[in-house]
Structure 1
Amino acid sequence: MNTLAERLSYLMTQTGTTITKLQDVAGVSYEMARRYTLGTATPRDNKVEKIAEYFQVSPSYLKYGQGKAPEKTTALSTELVTTQRDNEHRHRIDYLDVYLAAGISGIENSDYPEIISTLFLSDEGMARFVGKRSSQGVSIVNVPTDSMEPTIRKGDIVFIDTTINCYIGDGIYAFSINGELYIKRIQKLMSGGYRMISDNQAYPPEIISDEIYANAQFVGKFIRTVHIDVMNL
């Protein structure tokens, strides 16, 4: 990791931190926070200090790579999550095929394997990864494309809240429009309609009119993403 952007992306991946959260931590716009992760903008010293404090690293590590890097750990440790229920891991979260949930059939999805069908989280695991006490309405999905990188890497485990079936504020949603599935960031426009945003700059934003939005079927709202080594579960 030779650059601030690489170290920042590493820390975000390890902690499941989204660009929206980074935006709040640094006190900058969403676009500026995204540019930090891409290396197209460098945070000022006061922003570096805020970000470093949040990730519990030194500003010199974040800015220059000086000092000891945080130890890399599996994002979902077996202390917090397993694939088998026991007395400690009581909260069940099932895998959701978002294509089926969106009513899309006939999809051959080789890049979207059902590697994990069910996870069981401890109370601490629920608090850390889901932010809720109950697993009701929470599902895990995989994301089949790189359009949301670096926020969501292709193949990462993503927790979504399926009780949310409409836009309730800026965030990342899984939804379908006219038989096409999307996992994108949505922002409501003051002029009417919505902006559909991919965090990956290779994918330009698109505008969703109110008429098109009326035909959208929402599967759920993004909670957070984690990268896991399935072999360790």
Structure 2
Amino acid sequence: MIEPMVQEEKARTEFSQRLALACDKAGLPAHGRQAEIAKRMKLTPKAVSKWFNGEAIPRRGKLQELAAIIGTSSSHLLGDSAADGISEGHLLVKDDSYRVDIFDIQASAGQGVIVRDEFIETIKSIEYSTEEARAVFGGRPADHIKMIAVNGDSMSGTFEPRDQIFVDVSIDCFDGDGIYIFVLENDLYIKRLQKQHRKLAVISDNKKYETWYIEDGDFSSLRICAKVLVSQSRAYRFHS
């Protein structure tokens, strides 16, 4: 029973190595390639990461789709063909754009988390020039930045219902006072967190909501999903 398991593990490892080399030749840089493939195949980055980490080999249909994106064949990725057929550098990004996609709240929060109507999807993505993105997001990689529209009024005064917020999903722990999207005991919140000695104050900028606290015993059930960086008003003005 051990030998087949060893062979399967070897096959997965070799697949991941061939996949990485194929991406290199096609011009997909190591940073961001998993997110790019996930976006094109409409999969989660976590699913795609298993292929690059030697944890899994995609099934036939997905394997063929993956190979087509890279510009090679599924038989090459499986090691059955030495010729890759890849046009070198054909996936290099040629435009000066910085794309921000929608934040998948449910995927970030996890199964079992109650996602109420605090967030809504209004725009699927926004593209910036790299120069403008650098000014707005401070040089952070595009795959760290996501956006979503706020629906609740608990942070009114800072941003209003239907305003868009831009968050850094690479921040998954308390990173100083600020506004966070976080999960506590299977409930999802967007609140201002402020450290006060050995506890965190959970503050709604709308003063009709009371401040409450996360104390030592609650920290184990606190999970940070993202930190809010920027907000943008969606107020409409009609001129005709």
* TM-score scaled by length of structure 2: 0.54
In the aligned structure 1, how far is the partner of 2:117 from the partner of 2:208? 23
Residue 126 (structure 1) aligned with residue 133 (structure 2): yes
Q: 5+ residue gaps in structure 1?
A: 1-84
Question: Which residue does 2:213 correspond to in 1?
Answer: 207
Q: 5+ residue gaps in structure 2?
A: 1-92
**After the TM superposition, which residues 28-177 of structure 1 pair with which residues of structure 2 at under 5 Å, given as runs?**
87-88=95-96, 90-104=97-111, 112-132=119-139, 134-177=141-184
Question: Which residue does 2:201 correspond to in 1?
Answer: 195
Q: CA deviation at 1:107?
A: 6.0
Q: CA deviation at 1:103?
A: 1.4
Number of aligned pairs? 146
Residue 181 (structure 1) aligned with residue 181 (structure 2): no
Q: CA deviation at 1:189?
A: 1.3
CA RMSD, Structure 1 to Structure 2 (Å): 2.8
Identity of aligned residues (%): 30
CA gap 1:109/1:169 in 2 versus in 1, 3 angstroms: closer
CA gap 1:189/1:180 in 2 versus in 1, 3 angstroms: same
Q: CA deviation at 1:128?
A: 3.5
Question: Which residue does 1:42 correspond to in 2?
Answer: none
In the aligned structure 2, how far is the partner of 1:172 from the partner of 1:111? 14
Task: Name the amino acid aligned to 1:87.
Answer: D
Deviation string 1:52-95 (CA, Å, 9 cap, x unpaired) is xxxxxxxxxxxxxxxxxxxxxxxxxxxxxxxxx9934x111110
In the aligned structure 2, how far is the partner of 1:216 from the partner of 1:109? 18
Higher helix proportion: 2
Residue 218 (structure 1) aligned with residue 230 (structure 2): no
Q: Segments of 4+ in structure 1 off by > 4 A?
A: 104-111
Q: CA deviation at 1:100?
A: 3.3
* TM-score scaled by length of structure 1: 0.56
Q: CA deviation at 1:225?
A: 0.1
